[in-house]
Structure formats: structure tokens, C-alpha cells
Chains A and B, each alone.
Chain A
């Protein structure tokens, strides 16, 4: 009974829409005042399998999700190691490292659009180049990935930093006695100790990144010619631009299943190696 007040909002705002969304995936719901909805079984899923545009967008989503997560992790690890050193003004540096976290994705997107602006942008000004970063067919995706890495760094850094601080000092002392250098200390002590934190944060980051929407929507709206159309943007367009609600819901369900599968495989392997 005491659980009830906590449960009601969860049921109404989270479980309810989720179940509704899953149900919607099995219908031909369309936008329209007089649209009739009927149950179509697995038809949407069959259509999905043969939808080349979706798989193209899925491929882009995977490239995006994996590269952002990996780069984010490497950059954050470097930053966390640095911030873990006994530097002057360490406090200030740590605060600065967290600042991007305070920015909503839309603001980040707008800011980086100015950085990438072909005429007035910081980047072209700096290099004296004349590149339209966000509208070039081959550069748009890398350019967006850079922004993705930048945005996600704070939380990854903070988590890794916390992990680093919980590594027992004695371990370092012990290997130092054995005459280990900085690299060996990192490889044999820091990394194994950090492992659970790394697994947790990379999997969370991956889920977060593959479901990214607002950042890319603001930066490129999926363009040019669909080169940055992540699966979520694709689903959004199907639903709100073209009005195929049922199919869009199917996309949402399919993406969730795939993400869970990828994540499950990753966690399972990590758990096995950890044993």
C-alpha cells in the first residue's frame, strides 16, 4: 500500500505510454482526423525488414553510437587521469570539465552550428578554410560525431574520476616497490580496478548515444541527403512528418530490441571475461 503513491506516476507516465507504444506497433495507425486504425499483426515488422532507408539509417546510427562511445571513453579517461593528478587549480579545472553537462542539447547544437558555420564560423576562421562542415556529404557525420563526443564527456569523466579515486593507494605502493613504471601501473592496477566502472559507463553511454535525437536534429536535421539521419530521427520523420504513427512505433520497438541485444551481448562478454 505504501508503494502506491510511488507506483501510480510510474504506471501512468511510464508504463502506460510504453505499452500503448508497443501496441501501436502492431497497427496501421496514421495521422488524420478521420483515419481508421486496424490491427495488422506483424506487417509493419515485415515492411521494416525490407526498408532499405531504415537499414541505411541504422548503419549510420551504429557508426555514430559506437564511435561516439569509444572516443568519448578514451578522451574522458585521459581527462580523468589528468584531473586525478595533484595539479594546481585542480578544483577549477574539474569544474570547467563539467560545464558542458549543464547545457541542454539544443543549446549545444546551436552553439556548434555557429562553430561550424561556413562563413562566420570559428573553425573556418581558425584554419582559414572554406568548408561547409555540416552540409558536406562526407564531413557531416564526422563533424556531428565530434559534437557528440564533446557533449557526453562530462558525465563520463566524472564517473571515471570517481572510479579512479576509489582505487586503493596501497596497490600503487605495492607495484612501485616492484619497480613498475607509470604505464605498468596504469595497465596492471588502474585499468583492472576500474573495470566495473568502465563497463557500466560505456554501456550507459552507448544507450544514451544511439538514442540521441535533439543534438543531431538541431545540427543537421538528418541531412545532407540523409547522411546523419540517426534511427531516432528516421522514426521521428516517419511519425511526425509523414504521419505513419504505427510504422514509427514499430521502428521504436525495433530499435529498442536491437539496442538491448547489443548491450546484452556486451555485458555478457564482459561478465565472462571478468570471472
Chain B
């Protein structure tokens, strides 16, 4: 047979793991006078963000001839597959850029260094505890550890067409007095006219969006008791699902044909006035600002309020590989890379929210322009998303939750059926991880 079977591929990697224990390229000891070499895997992808990343690395290299950092470009599309292979082969990058949902499983497999007690006090104090919670995970045995430094966070806001809002006479919400979900439904209804919808829900990847918003009504989706995690879909979890479904099929204020879209795909329709509101992560403002036709007026509306405005937070993170030869130097680099001024640069580059409290005060991040004030203010309602701590969440998401939610939003299955699948099929998946 000409093609390698999966068995072969797996075997090849395992073999590589067996003989790759001597990994780590060059480097040399600090004691011998040779500079320490660190590899930094970065996932920056927006142009401004890559520039900011490379600039900070270059500054560091000039200031620290003894610790030289090599910038390695990665991609969000396949970073976790890439990391699994390099971890198994014993030759991972020293400093790893990733996001908190991925860290949990790497941490429990022992691939990441526990940073507890090793983080410089200044950095530690600059980042609030809520953000540290997003990187605190079980170590796979009995303890807990901190497996990364959180630096950029995303909240879900609404991006709206100002002229249509004014035309329909709806109240423009502010961070102090945000829309409730009821007001939102009401406004979306008023904004729906012939050939135009109040809102477009791009639901190609619905799971994280729904789970983060579900916290508005206290919906956690997971329940951990005695070390065993199960899926739960009760009245609290159903609120947001039902409300979005109602907009689609009862109020008809949301366009069903937007459902298959990724987050940025509704923008052409948004600019053309086909949708008045697009729910999106704060980073989408960059593409709106860049691509909007001249004279197009848009506003960023603060996150919606259910019982609370709380949203599940996921952070981008920098971690140190457990197999790194130079963990102390790696941490020094991270502490520099994520100090207040640098985080402000990174946040601006990616149009996301910094975790650093000093960075959040940067005038560029609190200006009215491009909705920065609203976006930055929304950071206060971010709490750790419960699913972050669930071992096996990734498999639950891709095998069970994504297809089931897509079918629910396409009105092919009922809410009860959705709940049943999320719980029953979901618990089967989670069981594999508790063995």
C-alpha cells in the first residue's frame, strides 16, 4: 500500500518521541558565555499585530545580548496539532503563544511548566485575578497550577449601523446602561424592514459564542461534582439559545441565511444596510474600521445584559514548555513582553482587550474613536468561562456541540432534542477523559 495509514503516522511520531529526547537546538549554557537562545512561537496574524510582536522581540534582543529570542511564526489554524507533535517529540518552542481553552489539556498532560510562584511580582499584580483564573488548571494529578500568562481577552459586543438605529428611534445603550436581551429583541424587531434584518447571527462556530453569552443568565453548561464533570442544559442554559432562535424564527428579526457565516462574513451585508446589528468579538472592529465605505457611521454597543452582563472570558496566553532548557530566561522574556506598555501595543495591534490594568489606562485604549471606550469598559464583566476547566471540552465541542447547535439554529431539531444530545452524547465523550 502506497499511502501511509494513520497507524504509521502515529507510530512515526511515537518513534520520534522515543529517540528525540536529546532535543533542543544549540543554545549553550549561560555559564559558558554563549548567549541563551529561545524560540518564541507567535500566532499574531493581523498586520499591525505582527509588526508589534516583531518590534518587541527586536527591542528585547538589543537590550539582552545574553538571551536571544527567535521569532517563529505559527498559525491559529493548526497550532494545537503542531504543538502536540513537537511536545511528543520533546522539542517544543520555549515560549508558546496559545489561548486558554487549549492550555487545559496540555497542562494535564504535563507539557507546560507550572508558573506558580515564578511570575515576577510586578506582572503578577498588574493582571487581575479573574484573568489568572483563565489559566489555572489541574496538573493532571491532584494539584492545580498556573500554566500561562494571560494577556489579550475578547468580549462579545454588538456592532451597529448608527443611521439605522437613529432612524428606528431606538435607544443607544451605554456601558452604564446596556441593553437587556429583551430590549435587544425589541430593537432588532424595530430595525427589521422589508429586505433588511435587525441582526445577523454568524453561527458557523456557534459553541464558544453561545457558551460565553450563556453566562448572562447564569448558564454554565458543565457541572463538576466529586471530580467528575457532566454536561447540564437546564433553564439557565436554554435562555440564550431560545432567544437567538426566537429572533430567527418567531420575531424574524434575524436573517437565517447568515447562520452559515463566519464572524467577519456578514460585513458586506452590514455595510450595505442589509443588517443593522452584527454581534461579534471586539476584534471585528478592526475590519469594520478598515473596510467600511466612507461616510458609513457605525457604533460599538456594550455587551447585553441578562440577569448580569457577565461573559465567559478566554485569554490569549504565553506559556513556557516543560521541556524548555531555559525556563527562567523564558519567564524573564515573558515578563518584558507583557509589561503594561507592550500589552497596550499588542492590544492595539489586535484590537483586543489587554489584561494589564496599566495598559487598559492607555489613552489610545479609552478613546471614543472606533468604540475603544465601550470595548475596554466591557472587560470588567469578563469572568472565567466554566468550560475552560473541562477536560475533553474540545472533543465535546467538535463532535457533539457544533453539529447539534448548527442543526438547532437551522431549525432542524427542537431545543429539547438539542439539550438531549448535548447531555447524553456529551457525557459519553467526557467519560473517556475521566478514566
Chain A interface residues toward B at CB < 8 A? 16-18, 20-22, 24-25, 29-35, 53, 118-119, 132, 135-137, 207-208, 211, 213, 224-226, 232, 235-237, 239-245, 248-249, 251-253, 255-256, 259
Cβ contacts under 8 Å, A256 to chain B: 1, 5, 7
- Which one of A119, A136, A137, A211 lies within 8 Å of B268 (CB-CB)? A119
A239 touches B6 (CB 8 A): yes
Can you add 16 more A-B contacts, CB < 8 Å, to A21-B5, A211-B1?
A: A16-B15, A18-B11, A20-B14, A24-B10, A33-B110, A135-B204, A135-B260, A208-B2, A239-B10, A241-B80, A241-B394, A241-B395, A248-B6, A249-B6, A252-B6, A253-B7
B109 touches A243 (CB 8 A): yes
A132 touches B8 (CB 8 A): no
**Minimum C-beta distance from B392 to chain A (A):** 8
Size bracket, chain B contacts: 35 or more
Q: Does B194 contact A (CB under 8 A)?
A: no
Cβ contacts under 8 Å, A208 to chain B: 2-3
Chain B interface residues toward A at CB < 8 A? 1-3, 5-12, 14-15, 80-81, 84-85, 87-88, 105, 108-111, 140, 204, 260-261, 265, 268, 322-323, 392, 394-395, 398-399, 402-403, 406-407, 410, 432
A240 touches B85 (CB 8 A): yes
A22 nearest in chain B by CB position? B7
A240 touches B84 (CB 8 A): yes
B109 touches A21 (CB 8 A): no
**Minimum C-beta distance from B167 to chain A (A):** 27
A249 touches B7 (CB 8 A): yes
- Which one of A18, A33, A118, A226 lies within 8 Å of B8 (CB-CB)? A18
B10 touches A21 (CB 8 A): yes
Give A135 to B268 CA distance when docked, in angstroms.
Answer: 19
A244 touches B11 (CB 8 A): no
Cβ contacts under 8 Å, B394 to chain A: 241-242
Q: Is the interface of A mostly helix, strand, loop or mixed?
A: helix
A243 touches B105 (CB 8 A): yes
Give A93 to B100 CA distance when docked, in angstroms.
Answer: 54
A227 nearest in chain B by CB position? B403
Cβ contacts under 8 Å, A232 to chain B: 5-6
**Minimum C-beta distance from A110 to chain B (A):** 12
**Minimum C-beta distance from B8 to chain A (A):** 5
A35 touches B109 (CB 8 A): yes
Offer 26 A-B interface pairs, CB within 8 angstroms, sorted by A.
Answer: A21-B5, A21-B10, A31-B87, A32-B108, A32-B140, A34-B110, A53-B399, A119-B265, A132-B261, A135-B260, A137-B406, A213-B3, A225-B402, A226-B399, A226-B403, A236-B9, A240-B85, A241-B81, A241-B84, A242-B395, A244-B432, A245-B10, A249-B6, A249-B10, A251-B6, A253-B7
B406 touches A21 (CB 8 A): no
**Minimum C-beta distance from B143 to chain A (A):** 13
Residue of B14, B402, B403 with most chain A CB atoms under a 10 A cut-off: B14
Cβ contacts under 8 Å, A243 to chain B: 84, 105, 109
Cβ contacts under 8 Å, A20 to chain B: 11, 14-15
- Which one of B9, B14, B87, B260 lies within 8 Å of A33 (CB-CB)? B87
Give A255 to B261 CA distance when docked, in angstroms.
Answer: 34
- Which one of A18, A31, A137, A251 lies within 8 Å of B88 (CB-CB)? A31
Give A201 to B93 CA distance when docked, in angstroms.
Answer: 45
A239 touches B9 (CB 8 A): yes
Cβ contacts under 8 Å, A251 to chain B: 6-7
A252 touches B5 (CB 8 A): yes
- Which one of A35, A53, A135, A207 lies within 8 Å of B3 (CB-CB)? A207
B109 touches A17 (CB 8 A): no
Cβ contacts under 8 Å, B432 to chain A: 244
Give A219 to B11 CA distance when docked, in angstroms.
Answer: 26
B109 touches A32 (CB 8 A): yes
B139 nearest in chain A by CB position? A34
Cβ contacts under 8 Å, B398 to chain A: 226, 237, 241
Cβ contacts under 8 Å, A240 to chain B: 81, 84-85
A255 touches B6 (CB 8 A): yes
Give A34 to B402 CA distance when docked, in angstroms.
Answer: 31
B6 touches A236 (CB 8 A): yes
B3 touches A211 (CB 8 A): yes
Cβ contacts under 8 Å, B15 to chain A: 16-17, 20
Give A213 to B3 CA distance when docked, in angstroms.
Answer: 10
Give A221 to B108 CA distance when docked, in angstroms.
Answer: 26
Give A255 to B9 CA distance when docked, in angstroms.
Answer: 14
Give A251 to B8 CA distance when docked, in angstroms.
Answer: 11
Cβ contacts under 8 Å, B204 to chain A: 135, 224
Residue of B8, B85, B403 with most chain A CB atoms under a 10 A cut-off: B8
Give A132 to B203 CA distance when docked, in angstroms.
Answer: 13
Give A182 to B87 CA distance when docked, in angstroms.
Answer: 63
With known contacts A135-B260, A236-B6, A241-B394, A29–B14 Cβ distance under 8 A: yes
Give A205 to B292 CA distance when docked, in angstroms.
Answer: 49
Cβ contacts under 8 Å, B109 to chain A: 30-35, 243
**Minimum C-beta distance from B9 to chain A (A):** 7
Residue of B3, B15, B407 with most chain A CB atoms under a 10 A cut-off: B3
**Minimum C-beta distance from A129 to chain B (A):** 13
B204 nearest in chain A by CB position? A135
Residue of A32, A35, A207 with most chain B CB atoms under a 10 A cut-off: A32
A207 nearest in chain B by CB position? B1
**Minimum C-beta distance from B57 to chain A (A):** 28
Residue of A16, A242, A245 with most chain B CB atoms under a 10 A cut-off: A242
Q: What are the 5 closest A-B residue pairs judged by CB atoms, nearest first?
A: A252-B7, A21-B7, A225-B403, A235-B6, A32-B109
Residue of B1, B7, B85, B410 with most chain A CB atoms under a 10 A cut-off: B7
Give A16 to B19 CA distance when docked, in angstroms.
Answer: 14
